[in-house]
Amino acid sequence: MAHIPDGVLTTPILIGGAVVTVTVVTIAIRRLRSEQIPQAAVMAATFFVASLISVPVGVSSVHLILNGLMGLLLGWAAVPAILIALVLQTVFFGFGGLLVLGVNAMNIALPALICALFLRRPLRHASQKGAFVIGAVGGASAVAMTGLLVCAALALSGNAFIPAAKVLIATFIPLAFVEAVVTGAALSFIKRVAPELLFMKEPAYGAQ
């Protein structure tokens, strides 16, 4: 799962994750435009609901993350959307924890931003089939990066967590395939019925 619970990670990992998340959220909020808020709210709700549905895989379980889809649709706005959804999941359902919130947000939001950086511009000019391919690549790669970040956080917190990290990385393999199909299909559909959703531009950092 992408939600690491409280009491697992060491203090340096928690502090590092919190610093990264605060920095990225600050940048994202400065770049947020008012017309992006409704779309970000919808995607935050989608992320919130999708993450509540877990499917058992071996000794662990997986759930849709959709951070690739959020990054491709929202760009920087995906960061506060992901953070808000994680806060609500922690408060209402006890997923993850408040102390580890920074790390969990970092693990999910950074891959979303990387996908946006490399794939969002090509997506705007892609055909409907091209949108599916780009979405599939973004969905799979974002989940794979999240899996690697989760496992790295566990492994760096102590050798005792390395076996668990190996099990977790195996569960992200089938999840990456599912995310590829879901994200590709969603973007292909959006490209056909509402392509304007893919053309929301963000201001340059520092612009007012």
Interhelix angle 101-124/128-156, rounded to 10 degrees, is: 160
Residue 202 has pLDDT above 70, yes or no: no
**Is residue 182 situated within a structural domain?**
yes
Helix (H, G, I), strand (E, B) or coil at 59: coil
CA atoms within 13 A on the CB side of 202: 24
Give me the mean pLDDT over the 192-206 stretch. Answer: 72
What region, left, alpha or beta, does residue 53 occupy, with left being phi > 0 and alpha being psi -120 to 50 degrees?
Answer: beta
Provide the b/e sequence for 29-67 (b: ≥16 CB within 10 Å): eebbeeebeebbeebbebbbeebeeeeebeeeebbbbbb
**Is residue 157 situated within a structural domain?**
yes
Domain limits at 120?
Answer: 11-198
Whole-number pLDDT of residue 204: 52
**Is residue 133 situated within a structural domain?**
yes
Residue with structure tokens 């409280």?
6
Whole-number pLDDT of residue 77: 95
**Is residue 205 situated within a structural domain?**
no
**Is residue 85 situated within a structural domain?**
yes
Average pLDDT of the residues of the chain: 88
**Is residue 2 situated within a structural domain?**
no
Residue 155: exposed, middle, or buried by beta-carbon count in 10 A (0-12, 13-18, 19+)?
middle
Measure the CA–CA gap between 137 and 133, rounded to whole angstroms.
6
27-76 tens-digit pLDDT: 999 999 888 999 999 999 999 888 777 665 554 556 789 999 999 999 99
* Number of domains within the chain: 1
**Is residue 152 situated within a structural domain?**
yes
Give me the mean pLDDT over the 105-127 stretch. Answer: 94
CATH code of residue 93: 1.10.1760.20
- pLDDT band, residue 166 (cuts 50/70/90): confident
* More confident site: 113 or 59: 113
Whole-number pLDDT of residue 88: 92
123-142 tens-digit pLDDT: 988 999 999 999 999 999 99
Instruction: Using the Cα atoms of residue 135, residue 138, residue 144 and residue 150 in order, give the sign of their dihedral.
Output: negative
**Is residue 208 situated within a structural domain?**
no
